Structures are given as structure tokens and as C-alpha cells.
Chains A and B, each alone.
Chain A
Amino acid sequence: MNLRLHIWRQAGPDATGMLKTYDVANVSEHMSFLEMLDVLNEDLIGKGEIPIAFDHDCREGICGTCGMVINGRPHGPVAKTTVCQLHMRTFKDGDEIYIEPWRARAFPVMRDLIVDRGSFDRIMQTGGFISVNTGNAQDGNTLPISKINADHAMDAAACIGCGACVAACPNSSAMLFTAAKVGHLGALPQGQTERSTRAMNMVLQMDVEGFGACTNHLECEAACPKGISVEFIAQMNRDYVASVFGGRD
């Protein structure tokens, strides 16, 4: 198939960016979306032009490195699918495709489609863990955890930290990402000691980083490639309220 791509080009964090148009021919339906861009890039290099910078690594939908907005939708049109797992059979001959980076104040563009998601790491640093030093642990089976709770924790822990939820949110809120971590650790007995301070500290850091507030648009859940449920946001709000009344460490 032949396609017309409109791709965001921006040479660096402080440069002005704009959409540039590229025609690509003979795209195989079996290619992944990123392979289609690989082929375009090899072409550009051949012509002495600067290839399009985009982030990726595992190409299996698990590392969370890839991410771009395709025709207005983070990770593209297929539900619960990262862009690295999106294949060209989703598109048809003659399609025009708009490709842009995640847009959010807390995710500055570094080049073309690559953004800096360091803000996610900094949220994690304020409380996204259980404080246990190596060597302190008791036998793994001394603490039975019901399958329901373990599965619930796993549902939240499946987050890959890609940032699509932020890109989808009209307020650029990082609520789903943060709530997934709070929900994962809060579902487990090991996570109880620090439960309320964790929610408090992580939510505060979200503000510091410049993410917006959550006003219940639920776009995040729709965009999330791992299907993280917005119920975790409600849970985090309860933990947060508890921490306000309980005081902060």
C-alpha cells in the first residue's frame, strides 16, 4: 500500500517543531508500524536526510519505551496495543497518517517523537516502593496472600510506564500511572505500612512535575495499552484522603 505520513519534526528541546509530509510506497501489511518507519528512515539516510527519531526497544509491548500519537490516538487505533505491536494491516492504501509525540508539559520533547519521561521516575522515587533492604526478608510463604489480592496487584503492576495515559488526558494528568503503582503495592500486605504516605508523596510529586489534575475524563483507560482500570484512581483517592487525615511522614 501507499501512504502519506505527516510526522512531527523537531530538532531539539528548544527548537520549533512542525509537521512534515512523507510519502511511503509499497508498504507491506505484515510490517509493524515501527518497521514502516525503519524503512522510511533508511530511505532518508540514503538521501542524506536526517532520519526521524523515535523511541523503541523491546518491540514486544512490554518495555514501555515506544509511544507516539497516531491520528490523535496514543499508540494508534488498536485497543490495548502499543505502537510497536501495531501492524500495517490496520491501515489501507491511500491513508493519511498524522504522527506526533506525546504532548504534556511534564514530558518535554527531546527530538521529533522522543519525549523525556524522567518525571515518571521522579514520582516513583518519592514512594513507589516498599522499603525493604536486601537480606531482611522472611520466607516467601510465611505471608499467604489471597489469589484475589495477588491478581489484583498484578493487574495494576502490569503498567509499562509508557505515558500514553498522560498523552490521552486533556489535563495531562499522570493519575493512572501513579494510581497503578499505589494500587499494586496497596493490594499487598507488605505494602500496608507505607500505604498512606506513599499515596500522599507520589500525588504531591505529580503536581511538582507539572502534571494536571484528574477531572474524570477516563481517556487514560481507553488509551492504556495494558488496560489499567480507572478503579485504581478511585482507590488512590481514598488512600490520599486517608493520608491527609493521618498526616505525612
Chain B
Amino acid sequence: MELKSNTPNGPLTEQWDDYRAHLKLVNPANKRKYNVIVVGTGLAGASAAATLAELGYNVSAFTYHDSARRAHSIAAQGGINAAKNYQNDGDSIFRLFYDTIKGGDFRARESNVYRLAQVSTSIIDQCVAQGVPFAREYGGYLSNRSFGGAQVSRTFYARGQTGQQLLIGAYQALMRQVGLGKVKLHNKQEMMDLIVVDGHARGIVSRDMVTGKIESFMADAVVLATGGYGNVFYLSTNAKNCNVTATYRAHKRGALFANPCYTQIHPTCIPQSGDYQSKLTLMSESLRNDGRIWVPLKKGDTRPPDQIPEAERDYYLERKYPSFGNLSPRDIASRAAKEACDDGRGVGPSGLGVYLDFADAISRLGKDVIADRYGNLFEMYERITGEDPYSVPMRIYPAVHYTMGGLWVDYDLMSNVPGLFVLGEANFSDHGANRLGASALMQGLADGYFVIPYTLGGYFAGGKLDSVSSDAPEAKAAVREAEEKVKLMLSINGKRSPTSFHRELGAIMWDKCGMSRNEKGLTEALTRIPELREFWKNVVIPGSGAELNQSLELGLRVADFLEFGELMCYDALHRNESCGGHFREEYQTEDGEAKRNDDEFCYAAAWEYTGVGSKPTLHKEPLEFENVQLATRSYK
């Protein structure tokens, strides 16, 4: 299979303008004849559904939440990037493009990233017009903050709730279209499968989570904006219900899954406190500006931190990376913490934690200054741990945060299955092997507000589609399969809950395919994960399928994770290099930095499904860099 990116010809800076100038259009009067299914109402899905409805398409939107406003996007804290250059500090579209490509360790497609940087400025305008209450300066103008991986100040924010405010903006636009009757919203509906007719994506199978009814919904195109798969690790900063089912089922129906092994681990999260732990909470990276990270020098030192004298502490980031110190990049800081803990020097009850100590900063700047900078974060920390970080150092540990991999898409954000478009965290398109802070929100809204409205029209105008209905044999078969799956799962009546399988899978993934990977561990994971599919003999799901049944919902999601985890390991095993969030221990420089292999691995790895437990087939999209020079990231 040849992977065509469909990047327009011509210079990078003119591709998107040129593309739009020559795009075939759908006659306005005809738009209402096109039915579009949008799955997901996060930033990507809500913005897409609202905008497509504004254009006149007939939109059906699906979410498993009870309201579109609850998507995981709501939890984003820090901010959203845009190349506005309001600060006059040298920002430009090219610079945002370059930072994103470099931050992604040169594993993303130039054309998509450049377009992202181009439309970033319109996103801010659109959000302001919707009433998003961005932070302002006293003069009334928009305020910016700095974020990692950039030397300019281009991040827009709304207190610590940027994701919430952007999502509410998109949700309000969506509610307006629902009120106008242009979007039919299906809350509490979980997509279970993709329906492909004559090689085209023509519908979905969905389960009503209240009544249990499984049915098909047909359309002329399907847009997936279903978020990331970080919860394959069980513990992550993602919301509890995030899962891979929508994209993985599309993968099983023929869509290629690209770079599944690229995961981002965030260094500053609150550590696990016990085996009942259900999720992990992110503490903003900004804390590392004033906090010093350390562990005891001695292994197994259980003294309280204030009784460990200065000379018996190891400020390992300052020691190993003297120039970046506590502000070393995310992946470096995360791995160093893991190393210290693996060495038996971790702190806290589980031994999986390192100190983030503000004592020096407090004595230097005073408690008030620290409270002013981080007050709400300190409160949140205290609420969760019961410890006062003004007097006891915080304990932190890295956690899974974001997944760069996703369904493979071309320049139009269309997968290799015609008519199946993929937006937001669910696709693989813009962040390469590592995402910069404040760029996921930008990408979700770029895809939904400013890309799909054009490219979807181009798809419709480009060829005629036959009409299909739920009576199509493909639709009926897919519904039957879903029903049988539910029935089978309910009938097993084994001994273990879905959660216990999920936890075990998560532990394997974290150990073997987490912050650092090696051939031996990945090979081991590839035997252990299939064994875990004893799920299909030993799971127990109480209750029936014809009611609100949260165990069943979970069971269905875990079943897909149990196949998907294997795909991640295959990808991680095949990529014999380290890049961004993918760190293979065998491939590192002497100082422990990621060692890329551009000669052999400068491509996106897009995997084709070949059956449960069978090795997927690799397809490569070579990445060509014409506008940037491939360079080694250096933090020393």
C-alpha cells in the first residue's frame, strides 16, 4: 500500500492558500443533503460539528458523556499556542512551525505542521469572538505566558482552566447548532464499530448506554475526534473514561494506525498513594521554575526529608544537567526520576517518588511570593495528599499524559479509508515523537474549526457517493457482531473484574513500553499481553446488556486495550532508535540522550491490522524535510 500524504505542490508557505483556492466546492443548496457523523465532542469534535453545521451540512454528533461539555479536553490547564506575535518578541508562523517540528524530534510531516501554525492565529480570534475569557493585561489586551520548548511568549490562557474555557466556547457553538436543529446530538452513545461499505466509511455502530440498544447510524462521511489512548497504561492523567475503542475499531476495519508507541510522559504528577489508585493528577510544569528536585543519596533512606542533611541529598538533575538543571525537558526529567527510583532511592510510601522542594525558594523569596505564583497548585496538592507543600517538600513522579500516535491521515486529515476523517489527539498528524506544551489544544481547534470544513467539502465535491441505509449487509453484520460481542462478554461469568485486567495490562505497558523500552522487555510484553486475553474466559460482568451497565462499558473498552497494547509494543520494538517520547535504552548517547537514526527511521510507521494476535503489517510514509535542517536536540 502506498501512503500518499496528498500534500499540495508548491512552496510550504503557499500550500494551504493554494489548496483552498483550487478546492472543489459543494453547492450551498446541496450541503444539507450530506450527512456527516462526528464522534467525539472534545475540542476537535465540538468545533468540527458546530462549524460543519454552520456551513449547512447535516451533522450527527456522538459522545459517551452525558453532555458534550464533559470531554477530556476540559481538563487542560496551561494554555494554547498561537503565532500572534502580540509580544513583538520575534514570533512568526515559521517559528511556531519550526519549534513544533523540532520539539517533535523531526518525526512529523512538514506540510501539516506549517498549516497548523498558519491557522493558529485565527483560533484565538474565533475564541475571543465566542466569549472565551482569556487572561488580559490591564490595558485590556490579551496576555501571554511562556511555555516549554519555545523562546517566545505565545501561549494564551484562561487562568489554570484554558481547556475548560476553550471547550465551553466550542460547546456553546455546538449547543447553538443543536438548538437550531442543524446538529443532532447523541449523548450517552458509545461507538463500537465503523461501517465500511464499498471501501468507504459510511457509518458507525453505537450502543445506547442507558437502554443498551445497539444500532447503526449511516452517513456520507465519518469524522472521528475521539481523543488519545493514554489509558492503555491504566494510570494516566487522562480522564477515567478515555479509551481507544473508536480508533482501534476503525483500525480493525482497515484504517492504518501510525506511530502508536509515541507516548508522552509528564514528569510532575502526584505519585500513586496505594493500589486502589484510580488515576494520576498533573501538577503544572511551571513548578520546576522554583522547586528543586532531589532524592536521598543513600538507598532505602526512610528518614523524613527535613532530617536528611544537605550533604546526603542528590539533586540529580542539577548534577547531571548543570545548565538546564531542574528545567530539563520533560522526557529527560521523567527518565532521571525513574532511574533514581529504580536505584532504590525513591521517596514516599511506595518508593516511587522524588522530592520537589520549595524550601530554598521560600527562604529566598518569602512565602508570599511563592503563594502568589503557585497558591492554587499548592492547595490542590494539599487536598489530594493531605500534606502542606510550604513545609514539607512535594512528592512527584512521572505519569502518562498524552499520545502522539493515532490513526494515519493525509493532508486532508482523511485516513486511508476514504470518507473516514480523524481529528485532534486521535490522529497522528502534527506532533511527531513528542508534543510541545500548549499545542494539543491548538491542534484540536485547528482541525475542527479551520481544516475539516474545507477538506470535507473537497471530498464530497470530488465524487458521487451512492446512498446507503442501515439495511446494507455491512451495517447489519457490524451490528450483529457488536451484539454478539456484548452477549459473549456477559455470558463468561468468570472470576476477574474488567478493572483487574486493565490494571494488569497497565502495569505491563508501564514496565515494558513506558518511559524507557528495550528489546527484551518489549518481547516479553508481546508474550504477556496475549496471555492476558484470558479475559475472554475469565472476566465477570454483572448485570445485563439492556440497561445502564458501567462494568460492561469498561469491559468493552478493556477488551480493545488488550489488543491495542500489543500494537504499541510491535511499533516500539521495530523502531530501533530513540526519538522524543520513544526512548529505547539500546539507542542513547553517552550522556543518556535519545539517539535518533535518521538514515533508517525518518518515516511515520503506519500499521495495518492482520488479525488478533498476529503481527501487523508495516507501511512507511517517508518524511521529507525541505524547509528545516534535521538536527540533534541538545539540552546541555
Chain B, range 436-455, C-beta contacts under 8 Å to A: 449-450, 453
**For A150, what are the chain B residues with a Cβ–Cβ distance below 8 Å?**
133-136
Chain B interface residue count, CB cutoff 8 Å, equals 77
Whether B129 contacts A138 by the Cβ 8 Å rule is yes
**For B27, what are the chain A residues with a Cβ–Cβ distance below 8 Å?**
none
Bound form: Cα–Cα A114–B129 in Å: 35
**For B129, what are the chain A residues with a Cβ–Cβ distance below 8 Å?**
130, 132, 136-138, 190
Chain B, range 36-81, C-beta contacts under 8 Å to A: 47, 50-51, 54, 65-70, 72, 74-75
Chain A, range 93-136, C-beta contacts under 8 Å to B: 110-111, 114, 116-118, 120-121, 124-126, 128-136
Whether B67 contacts A120 by the Cβ 8 Å rule is yes
Please give me the residue from chain B that is nearest to A136 by CB atom: B129
* 9-residue interface stretch from B168-176, B248-256, B465-473, B509-517: B168-176
Q: A31-B274, A34-B278, A134-B453 are in contact. Are A188 and B383 (CB under 8 A)?
A: no
Chain B, range 459-497, C-beta contacts under 8 Å to A: 497
* 9-residue interface stretch from B118-126, B413-421, B623-631: B118-126
Best-buried of A36, A58, A87, A133 by chain B (most CB within 10 Å): A58
Q: A153-B133, A190-B129 are in contact. Are A118 and B161 (CB under 8 A)?
A: no
Whether A134 contacts B133 by the Cβ 8 Å rule is no
Please give me the residue from chain A that is nearest to B281 by CB atom: A60
Q: Mark contacts of A178-189 with chain B using CB atoms, 8 A cut-off: 1 yes-contact digit, 0 otherwise.
A: 000000110110
Best-buried of B47, B138, B178, B239 by chain A (most CB within 10 Å): B239
B128 at the interface (CB under 8 A from A): yes
Please give me the residue from chain A that is nearest to B497 by CB atom: A45
* 9-residue interface stretch from A141-149, A164-172, A228-236: A141-149
Tell me the number of A-to-B contacts counted with CB atoms below 8 Å: 213
Whether B176 contacts A89 by the Cβ 8 Å rule is no
Contacting B140 at CB < 8 Å: which of A28, A145, A154? A145
**For B72, what are the chain A residues with a Cβ–Cβ distance below 8 Å?**
57-58, 63
CB distance from B176 to the nearest CB of A (A): 4
Q: Mark contacts of A9-40 with chain B using CB atoms, 8 A cut-off: 1 yes-contact digit, 0 otherwise.
A: 00110000000000000001111101110110
Chain B, range 3-60, C-beta contacts under 8 Å to A: 47, 50-51, 54
Whether B130 contacts A130 by the Cβ 8 Å rule is yes
Q: For chain A, what secondary structure do more than half of its interface residues adopt (helix, strand, loop), or is it mixed?
A: loop
B86 at the interface (CB under 8 A from A): yes
**For A28, what are the chain B residues with a Cβ–Cβ distance below 8 Å?**
273-274, 276
Contacting A45 at CB < 8 Å: which of B140, B278, B551? B551
**For B149, what are the chain A residues with a Cβ–Cβ distance below 8 Å?**
none
Whether B54 contacts A184 by the Cβ 8 Å rule is no
**For B84, what are the chain A residues with a Cβ–Cβ distance below 8 Å?**
140-141
Whether A191 contacts B175 by the Cβ 8 Å rule is no
Please give me the residue from chain B that is nearest to A64 by CB atom: B70
Contacting B161 at CB < 8 Å: which of A36, A62, A124? A62
Bound form: Cα–Cα A4–B66 in Å: 30
Best-buried of A11, A117, A150 by chain B (most CB within 10 Å): A150
Whether A87 contacts B131 by the Cβ 8 Å rule is no
Chain B, range 329-386, C-beta contacts under 8 Å to A: 383-386
**For A144, what are the chain B residues with a Cβ–Cβ distance below 8 Å?**
136, 139-141
B547 at the interface (CB under 8 A from A): yes
A173 at the interface (CB under 8 A from B): no
A249 at the interface (CB under 8 A from B): no
Contacting A118 at CB < 8 Å: which of B67, B168, B500? B67
| 29 residue pairs A–B, Cβ–Cβ below 8 Å | A30-B385, A38-B499, A46-B497, A57-B65, A57-B241, A62-B164, A64-B74, A85-B383, A85-B384, A89-B386, A110-B210, A117-B66, A124-B171, A125-B175, A129-B172, A132-B173, A133-B54, A134-B50, A137-B126, A141-B86, A141-B142, A144-B136, A146-B140, A147-B140, A150-B136, A154-B133, A157-B168, A185-B131, A187-B133
5 closest cross-chain pairs (CB), A and B: A144-B140, A125-B179, A129-B172, A137-B129, A137-B125
**Other A-B pairs, 5, CB within 8 Å; known A31-B273, A129-B175, A147-B140:** A42-B500, A50-B543, A62-B74, A87-B386, A188-B133
